[in-house]
Amino acid sequence: MDTLPETRAHSPLTQRYLDIEAELGASNYKPLDVMLTRGERVWVWDLDGRKYLDCLSAYSAVNQGHCHPKIMEAMIDQARRLTLTSRAFHHDQLAPFYEELCALTRSHKVLPMNSGAEAVESALKVARKWGYEVKGVPDEAAEIIVCSENFHGRTISIVGFSTDPAARHHFGPFSGGFKRVPYGDAAALAAAITPNTVAFLVEPIQGEAGVIIPPAGYLQAARRLCTEQRVLLILDEIQTGLGRTGKLLAEEHEGIESDLTLIGKALSGGFYPVSAVLSPREVLGVLKPGEHGSTFGGNPLACAVARAAMRVLVDEGMIENSATQGARLLAGLRGLGPDIVAEARGRGLMLALELHHDAGGAKPFVRRLRDRGILCKETHEHTIRIAPPLVINQAEVDWAVEQFQAVFGN
């Protein structure tokens, strides 16, 4: 097929900003050629006045929609009163945040952090400490099992157990203590567990890998193996959690409960970096004062924003809407041109199109979608991720399907 150029004509202001980014910024991102300036619900506008349906949601950080007025109100109100104390002192937003988050997720303990990667790093530390002090693993011998094609962040320890060459190349040496097994293969997980295994870290659906859904029963099998072998099951729900898949947490699709659950992104509705590690008392109970912390983790502004973000998620029926509109959107995507689209897959509003490898790659199609007012992003060359905010309505879903049909045929 014909391909559109990587860039397009812009206003002088947009071009000036693009030039400054190229000159002064580190080149660790290659964004789609669009300069956004405003957002509302599922819509965003660029500096040149074009309007788009956001089908990425900042990788599920804006599940509640752009600039949700109730979250904004909570943020402004708290910012006028108190923003940061550090955890050297108590503040009046932390206890309500704990209480409401535990009630929502049926958790017993919360460790508040900022970014998703910090939540993952915290869970790894906690799992090792639990292994030594509770399970009785010999010092420095703890093993954590992870999956191939995983994505848990960009820190040194995390990229050390990644299978993505771009994430690893020239960032070593890496820390040890990790084993990789194929995703979705319960037999491989069983074979990898040893007496020194303290945890299995896994995404319920692999997001960055291309919205890869494991075989039915895989998480149940993982839960059973971890229970039998006294291994912590750590579910990274930073992308899948908080309604994205049509359930509050993706673990609910298989009726299981993890030992540690990691949430972030939509925990603030896109207003502020907020993440958390959730667990039963036994696991997070291994942490003692001075052993772990964060200057900004659990700060008053973060807690107030997260409380509002959780409240609107439930009160406005966003989780149920994700299931309903996700099914409608997936049905529309499954009708796209079979000569180009090999598969449409997903759960809730966490969806992907897998293109035939002879279709010329996903990037040209992403640019065509952009020019029809749809913003999404390719991953792994042949896959397009589609994840609009959970507030999308039926008319907007149907309009989006029309744009996809115009690009891919039906």
User: CA 266 → CA 64, 66, 241, 337, 355, distances in Å?
Assistant: 7, 11, 8, 33, 28
* Residue from 46, 54, 259, 265 carrying the catalytic annotation: 265
Helices 318-333, 300-315: axis angle to 10 degrees equals 70
Question: DSSP assignment, residue 356?
Answer: P
Question: DSSP assignment, residue 250?
Answer: G
Max Cα separation, the chain? Answer: 64
User: Tokens 């998703």 belong to which residue?
Assistant: 116
Strand partners, 212: 206
Is 139 one of the annotated active-site residues of the chain? no
Helix, strand, coil content of the chain in percent (nearest 5): 40, 20, 45
Strand order in the sheet with 341-347: 341-347, 350-355, 383-386, 377-379
Q: How far is 398 from 332, CA to CA, in rounded Å?
A: 8
Q: How far is 369 from 169, CA to CA, in rounded Å?
A: 32
* Residue from 54, 129, 200, 236 carrying the catalytic annotation: 236
Is 129 one of the annotated active-site residues of the chain? no
Q: How far is 257 from 339, CA to CA, in rounded Å?
A: 41
DSSP H or E run through 342: strand 341-347
User: CA 390 → CA 19, 161, 199, 203, 379, distances in Å?
Assistant: 34, 32, 32, 20, 21
Mark 209-241 as b/e (b = at least 16 C-beta within 10 Å). bbbbbbeeebbebbbebbeeeebbbbbbbbbbb
* Residue from 54, 97, 151, 365 carrying the catalytic annotation: 151
User: CA 239 → CA 78, 82, 146, 267, 407, distances in Å?
Assistant: 26, 29, 17, 10, 27
Strand partners, 229: none
Q: Which residues contact 101 (CB under 8 A, 6 or more apart)?
A: 107, 110, 276, 278, 306, 310
Is 236 one of the annotated active-site residues of the chain? yes
DSSP notation for 62-101: TTT-BT-HHHHHHHHHHHHH-----TTS--TTHHHHHHHH
Residues taking part in catalysis: 151, 236, 265
